[in-house]
Amino acid sequence: MSYSNVIALATDWTIWHGILESRTWGKGVGALALVQDNITRVTDQLLQDGTNPNNQIRVYDGISMVVHDILRNGTKLAIVSANPSKDMCDRALFYFKTINPSNNQQSSIIDLVEYDEVQDSNPEIKGVNPFRNIRRLSGSDYSQMLMFDAEAASNTVRITLGVSFELVRDRGSGLTWALYQRGLQAWRRAISITLLPNPPTRRRRVLIGYSGLGPTWIRRVRVGEGVVERTEAYRWGYAFYVAASSRTARVFRDLLRSGGQRRARVCQVWVKDYDSWVNVNKIWVPEHGSTVTRTDNKHWSHEQSAQSQEDRDRSIEDHWGVPTPYVLFSRHHHVRGMRKRGRWSEMVVYTQIQRALFDIRPLTDAQVRRISKPSPYPFHRQFRRWNIVVPDETRREFLRHKEKKLYRLSAKAPRPGQTPLPRRRRPKKRLRILVQGRGGATRVFWQAKNGSIRTKGWRPNGSPWPTRILVRARRTRRYTPLAVINWGGKFGFRYIRLFYVDNKNILRNMKGRKGSWRAGKLGRLKLAVAPRSKRLSVRRRGRKQRVRFKSARGRIRVAVFGKKGWKVT
């Protein structure tokens, strides 16, 4: 099982039961000058204020096992807390013990902490600066970090940076072993969508929609971060909102400009890898429903907005079986400035998926006006293709708003708890190459259904040359690419060179001369071709022949035939 590079724990209501703060501790009779010196140990699990026994904290039962497992699997332990008194937290962690897996001896938790980031901060950027410090010190990406905290406001680290976050909901039991495993599973789902630096196959970038963004959002999306702000409404939580049409994005660009953001732009929204995008969890929620509630970030406190996001994530998983990270789709009511009346579709991309799979390209106003296809992928037509889960509650809302087309299209979408439908692929076609000779003579080369490579031709008067089997079945790769050159003779077919890929993905050739065929010497070089490559190209100049192909390592290579035979450049 994989583990993140860094796991961060908060203090109050996560590691221990109670609140440890300098404003209330050490204020009684006989208080010592240093507030941390007033912490006294009652038992191995209980600490209290030496000047006021009513001030107590108790370490939760599962913390020792959780810390031991973190260290045993090579993960760095971090303490990230907004507690205003770092010295008090360090002293408490000194009193609390666990087994050090490196020597199986009992040690203070504080001695096992790699990154001690206890610092007071603004609630709206809570935890952001500590994780920036951890990244600078550790060199680990934010996608390799996981945090547990009892305050929902700490999910700012997920919204802003893409750090995985798990809320400790039950303050009576704190961070339990079950909750710890739940957080690890959430992190593993998030890391599974991260693109590999050197993929075995070529990624397919796809233009998926448009978004009207201000300069702050453009700058943050480009570096893979999100934004927490209260000037704009984020009804489905702080996220990256995308429209299917450039016309819709223009409306929001104009709204931002009228609000003072003169540099707002319409941006193309690109998916870096379409195949990975299809496999991401997706849910289409009703705009007005009882299962999920919307966020009123402009009027709520930051803690309320954060809590609503955590509750929405839990509700979507419990009711419809779609865990985080997911992409949320919904219909949006009409916005002033739009040409058509009625609702339109929006896509909500949260930071972890945005950071892993999405990129943007800002457009000038002139480029926006020249867009010929405003909606490259209408979201409501992608239910089945993108494996978007559509609950019955959402489909009933389609009917209430007389959106019969969406109701009909969503009938083929996956239902909650249903295995995602396999992505339909177009059937592969075996390649046929038509070669022109002189005076109207032609030849065709193709791979038959049994895998053999064959050829047939016609003279200028229409009389045929007989069909020949050039390479027998089971000696070629299925759907092998082909390349052919020909020259010389009355009809231009005195000399023919055929290039193909065999059943072991080795590049080979066949030599034709005056109607007779034999295997060439190119196969002796054992040139490995990429398993899914679809193209070969060949050129001839004088005696030299040059064959371009994609190697097994994904590089474009050239095999050259000259006076000394075949060689690779």
Residue 169 has pLDDT above 90, yes or no: yes
Residue-level pLDDT at 289 = 81
3-state secondary structure of 96: coil
> Quick one: how far is CA 343 from the chain centroid?
28
Q: What is the mean pLDDT of residues 277-298?
A: 92
Render pLDDT for 472-524 as a digit per residue (tens, 0 to 9).
988 999 889 999 999 999 889 999 999 999 999 999 999 999 889 999 999 99
Residue 434 has pLDDT above 80, yes or no: yes
* Average predicted confidence (pLDDT) for the chain: 91
Confidence of residue 201 (pLDDT cuts 50, 70, 90): low
Residue 124 has pLDDT above 80, yes or no: no
Q: What is the mean pLDDT of residues 298-326?
A: 94
For the chain, what's the residue count?
569
User: Which two tokens mark 179?
Assistant: 């909750």
In angstroms, the Cα distances linking 68 to 108, 197, 286 are 12, 32, 43
Residue 429 has pLDDT above 70, yes or no: no
Q: What is the mean pLDDT of residues 126-140?
A: 93
Give the whole-angstrom CA distance, residue 119 versus residue 539.
67
Query: Minimal CA–CA distance to 253: which of 333, 376, 362?
Result: 362
CA dihedral over 501, 502, 505, 509, signed as positive or negative: negative
User: Which two tokens mark 350?
Assistant: 């949260």
Q: What is the mean pLDDT of residues 40-62?
A: 95
Q: What is the mean pLDDT of residues 316-336?
A: 94
Q: What is the mean pLDDT of residues 178-194?
A: 95
For the question of whether the overall pTM of this predicted structure is more than 0.85, the answer is: no
Residue-level pLDDT at 336 = 84
Residue-level pLDDT at 404 = 94
Lowest pLDDT segment from 25-39, 120-134, 532-546:
120-134
What DSSP element (H or E) covers 91? helix 86-95
Q: What percent of the chain has a predicted confidence (pLDDT) above 90?
A: 75
- In 382-532 the beta strands, taken as DSSP E runs, fall at 432-436, 442-447, 453-458, 464-471, 483-487, 495-501, 507-513, 516-519
Residue 311 has pLDDT above 90, yes or no: yes
Beta strands 145-149 and 164-167, pairing class: parallel
Burial class (CB in 10 A: 0-12, 13-18, 19+), 375: middle
Q: What is the mean pLDDT of residues 208-230?
A: 93
Residue found by looking up tokens 């450049």 in the block: 569
In angstroms, the Cα distances linking 487 to 148, 460, 566 are 71, 16, 19
Stronger pLDDT, 440 or 165, i.e. the higher one = 165
Confidence of residue 229 (pLDDT cuts 50, 70, 90): confident
Residue-level pLDDT at 196 = 66
Query: Which ranges in 200-350 belong to alpha helices (H)?
Result: 215-222, 246-258, 274-278, 302-320
Residue-level pLDDT at 421 = 53
Residue 226 has pLDDT above 60, yes or no: yes
Residue 341 has pLDDT above 70, yes or no: yes
Residue 128 has pLDDT above 60, yes or no: yes
| DSSP annotation of 476 | B
Q: What percent of the chain has a predicted confidence (pLDDT) above 70?
A: 96
Residue 552 has pLDDT above 90, yes or no: no
3-state secondary structure of 311: helix
Confidence of residue 278 (pLDDT cuts 50, 70, 90): very high
Confidence of residue 548 (pLDDT cuts 50, 70, 90): very high
CB-side exposure of 89: number of CA atoms within 13 Å? 25
Residue-level pLDDT at 420 = 56
Residue-level pLDDT at 419 = 57
